[in-house]
Amino acid sequence: MKDTTIGVDLAKSVFEIGISTHPGAVSEHRRVSRKRFIEFMHAQKPATFVMEACGSSHYWGRELEKCGHRVVVLPPMQVRPYVKGNKTDRADVKGILEAYRNQDIHGVPVKNLMQQQLTTLHRVRASWMKTRIARSNRVRGLLRELGLTIPLGADRVVGQVREVLEDADTGVPLSIREVLSVSCEEIVELNRRIGNLEKQLQALARQTPEVERLRTIPGIGVLTATALVGFVGDVQRLRTCRHFASYLGLTPRERSSGLRRRLGAISKRGDTYLRTLLIHGARAVLRVAKLKTAPDRLHHWGLQIQDRRGHNKAAVAVANKMARAVWAVWKRGTVYSAPSRAA
């Protein structure tokens, strides 16, 4: 049974299973409920289970590994070309098994419980941040229609709106004042929730040695370090630092042919959230570099790029350097040591 490959199309209640004992052929199909699937995976001898990455794939991956099975989780966008004909659960299982045979498709590592805690907190925080921005912009827009403008800055919205509501001569109708007051309360509540969630991230960061080591890199704080550990998972699967930067979408997009090599803007592949955090951290590195009297090699190089290509391109270039430093620190299990300019 060790050569048996079992493809699983995960769902909420009904799972499609395809058992393959010979490459390229499905010898048996099964359609089982959630309860029956649990019984099935415990009854099977050690085999290779292949599934697509989805909302419950990491949970089932951990459960299958507890039963002694080998688990391979494939990216859905790379499985889809192997699904032939109409889209059905049985065709999806066949496509999963065919994609597994392609050695160029790399699996997604199964996240442990700690990593899923970090990713969940980051996803919820990002959702609350988006909601807070929407509430703030809505309040700004409503007041702008009445001839009142609020200065830029998320921290100024609530204070400025409350000053407007307390002033009876601003010309804001009474019916709108109550709506604006409720919106301010929503923004304050979202700020409180985001603050509490960030405290939870800091507590988890203190329990994770990898996060503490990553925080020694310039521009890497609690948010970026915990997000990297949570979303990337196992950094050992990435052979070089350039592979890691490419995984995050920070390397140039290539369009070459024949003897002509064309390199364009960054590919923007991978997780947008991680790439955004790294670029924001790179902006902080550039800002600190201007204040340093004796900048190290990274800060000095970033300032040179900024003078030559502009601030935004320099931020992306520094983010690429930061990603390479993250790979080195993480893979070697050491802390970051800033190279001197003489080096």
Q: What is the structure's pLDDT at 340?
A: 65
Q: Is the pLDDT of residue 341 over 70?
A: no
> Which pLDDT band, with edges at 50, 70 and 90, does 35 fall under?
very high
Q: Is the pLDDT of residue 342 over 60?
A: no
The two three-digit tokens of residue 26, written as one number: 């499905």
Q: What is the structure's pLDDT at 132?
A: 94
CB 16 within 8 A of CB 26: no
Give the residue with greater pLDDT, 45 vs 294.
45
The top-level CATH class assigned to 5-100 is alpha beta
Q: What is the structure's pLDDT at 2?
A: 56
- Write the CB contacts of 75 (distance below 8 Å, at least 6 apart in sequence): 52, 53, 105, 108
Q: What is the structure's pLDDT at 164?
A: 86
189-198 pLDDT per residue, tens: 999 999 999 9
User: If you search the block for the tokens 């080591």, which residue do you land on?
Assistant: 213
How many whole angstroms separate alpha carbon 327 and alpha carbon 332? 8
Of the candidates 1, 78, 103, 81, which has an alpha carbon nearest to the alpha carbon of residue 45?
A: 1
302-321 pLDDT per residue, tens: 999 999 999 999 999 999 99
List, in sequence order, every residue forming a beta bridge with 15; answer none if it has no partner: 32
Mean pLDDT of 224-249: 93
> Which pLDDT band, with edges at 50, 70 and 90, does 51 fall under?
very high
Mean pLDDT of 78-106: 92
* Percent of the chain clearing pLDDT 70 (strictly above): 98
Q: Is the pLDDT of residue 125 over 70?
A: yes
Considering the chain, what is the average pLDDT of its residues? Answer: 91
Q: Is the pLDDT of residue 138 over 80?
A: yes
How many whole angstroms separate alpha carbon 96 and alpha carbon 73? 10
How many whole angstroms separate alpha carbon 2 and alpha carbon 11? 25
Q: What is the structure's pLDDT at 75?
A: 93
Across 244-248, 258-262, 268-272, 273-277, least confident range: 258-262
Across 58-67, 289-298, 311-320, least confident range: 289-298
175-184 pLDDT per residue, tens: 888 889 999 9
Give the phi and the psi of residue 241 in degrees, each rounded to 5.
Answer: -70, -30
Q: Is the pLDDT of residue 284 over 90?
A: yes
Q: Is the pLDDT of residue 343 over 60?
A: no
CB 126 within 8 A of CB 227: no
Global pTM?
0.88
Mean pLDDT of 45-73: 94
Q: Is the pLDDT of residue 1 over 50?
A: no
Q: What is the structure's pLDDT at 264?
A: 87
How many other CB atoms sit within 10 Å of the CB of residue 316? 18
How many whole angstroms separate alpha carbon 95 and alpha carbon 183? 49
Domain ranges of the chain: 5-100, 113-207, 210-332
